[in-house]
Amino acid sequence: MKTKIAYYLFCLAGILLTWPALAAIETKSADPYLGAIVIDADTGQILFEDHSNVKGYPASVLKTMDLMILLDKINMGAMRLDEKITILAEVSKIGGSQVYLKENEIFTVDELLYALMVQSANDAATALAIQAAGSKEGFVALMNQRAKELGMKSTEFHSIHGLPPAKDQLPDVTTARDLARLARALLKYPDCLRYTSCKEHGFRDNKFIMRNHNRLLASFPGCDGLKTGFFRNAGYSIVATAKRGNTRIIAVILGSKSKKSRDQKAAELLAKGFAEMSQKQAFVTKSAPPPVPVDQPAEKEKPRSNRVLWLVISLVALVIVAVACYWFFFYRPRNKEDLVQRH
C-alpha cells in the first residue's frame, strides 16, 4: 500500500515539475496575426477587433511611445529640436536596425528623431532616451508611467528600442488594443506625422539614406504612419494610420507570421474601416460585441496557444514518468535473490 502511494505521489510530482515548462510555451505570432483592431482615430470607436487583448511582443512598434515622450519633452521646453546630443560609447554598441552612431559624434534631436522613426534606429533611440531621462532605465520608467496614464493595462515596457530581451531581462509585452490607444494619443501631436510619414531621409549630410520600413506609405492612399516592428519570436507587427477627407483610421496588426501577410491585412482593415465609416456603420465580426471606444475596457480574452501540442507533450511526459515509476517500484530487482527468482 505504501509503495502504491509513493508511486502516485512520484507521478504527481513529475506532472507538477513538467507543467511550468509546458505552460511557458505560447505563440507570439500567428497566421494571419496574433491580434488585430481597427478604430476611428477621432472618436476611438472600435470598427473591428479580433483577439485584440491577446498579449504579444511589440518589437520596434514601441518606438511610438518613445516618440510621444520625446515630443512631450519638446512641447514642455525640456528639450529642443535643435539641441545637440553627443553620442556616448554605450550608444554605439546597440545592435539591430541602426544608423551606426559613433562615440563623440554630434547630432541634433531632430536628426535623431528621423533616425528613430524612419530607420527605426536602436542606437538613435538609446541616445535620445539617455538625453531625455538621464539613463535608459529612467526612460523605461517614463514609458511605463505614460502607458499607465493612457490605460494600457496589458502593456509592460522593459526596453527603449524593442529588441529581443537580453539574458535575465523580461520582454516588452502589449496588445493590439493597447497599441491602438497609444496611436490615437500620439496622433494628437501634429509633429509626429512629420517623422512617421517620411518615406526616406538623408543622414550624415545625406551620406546615409534612411528608408522607412512601412511599405503602406507608398502603397495605401492616405497612409502617413505610424510604425512597424519585427523580431523572430515576435513576428511582424504594424500600427498603421491613414486619412481620407476628414476621416482618419488606425489599424493595428500584432504578431503576424510574415511581412506580406501583415501588410496585406493592415491595408485590408484600413480599407474596410474607411468603407464602414463612409456608411456610418460599425464594422464588426459576428462574434464581436457592439462597438465601443478603444479607451473603454473590454472583456479579457484568452491568448491563442497550441493546445494540441501542450496536450501531446503532457501525455508523453506522463507516460515517461509512469514507466519510470513502474520500473523503479515494481520491476527493478532489489537484491540477488530477486534477480535469481525472476530468471
- What is the pLDDT at residue 136? 97
Q: Going by C-beta distance under 8 Å and a sequence separation of 6 or more, which residues neighbour residue 312?
A: none
Where in the sequence numbering do the catalytic residues fall? 60, 63, 120
User: Do 212 and 311 sit in the same domain of this protein?
Assistant: no
Which cell numbers hold the place of 119? 530607420
User: Do 182 and 218 sit in the same domain of this protein?
Assistant: yes
CB 301 within 8 A of CB 52: yes
Q: SS3 of 253, please? A: strand
User: Do 342 and 209 sit in the same domain of this protein?
Assistant: no
What is the residue-level pLDDT of the chain in tens, covering all 343 positions? 444 444 344 444 443 433 443 343 355 799 999 999 999 999 999 999 999 999 999 999 999 999 999 999 999 999 999 999 999 999 998 989 999 999 999 999 999 999 999 999 999 999 999 999 999 999 999 999 999 999 999 999 999 999 999 888 999 999 999 999 999 999 999 999 999 999 999 999 999 999 999 999 999 999 999 999 999 999 999 999 999 999 999 999 999 999 999 999 999 999 999 999 988 644 444 444 555 677 766 555 554 545 556 555 666 667 776 666 665 666 555 554 554 444 4
Q: Maximum Cα–Cα distance for the chain, whole Å?
A: 92
- What is the pLDDT at residue 9? 44
- In a domain? residue 293: yes
In degrees and rounded to multiples of 5, residue 189 shows phi and psi of -100, 100
- In a domain? residue 14: no
User: Do 262 and 343 sit in the same domain of this protein?
Assistant: no
If you count them, how many residues does the chain have? 343
- What is the pLDDT at residue 293? 76
Distance CA 117, CA 201 (A): 10
Q: What is the DSSP string of 55-82?
A: -B--GGGGHHHHHHHHHHHHHHTSS-TT
The b-or-e profile of 312-329 (16+ CB within 10 A means b, else e) is: eeeeebeeebeeebeeee
User: Do 222 and 78 sit in the same domain of this protein?
Assistant: yes
| Structural domain boundaries enclosing 311 | 306-343
CB 236 within 8 A of CB 254: no
In the block, residue with C-alpha cell 543622414: 203
- In a domain? residue 145: yes
CATH number, domain at 167?
3.40.710.10
- In a domain? residue 99: yes
In degrees and rounded to multiples of 5, residue 228 shows phi and psi of -110, 165
What is the tally of structural domains in the chain? 2
User: Do 112 and 236 sit in the same domain of this protein?
Assistant: yes
Distance CA 101, CA 123 (A): 7
- In a domain? residue 115: yes
Distance CA 252, CA 52 (A): 9
CB 216 within 8 A of CB 185: no
User: Do 321 and 296 sit in the same domain of this protein?
Assistant: no
User: Do 299 and 328 sit in the same domain of this protein?
Assistant: no
User: Do 40 and 158 sit in the same domain of this protein?
Assistant: yes
E-only strand ranges, the chain: 35-40, 46-50, 84-86, 106-108, 200-203, 208-211, 223-231, 235-244, 247-256
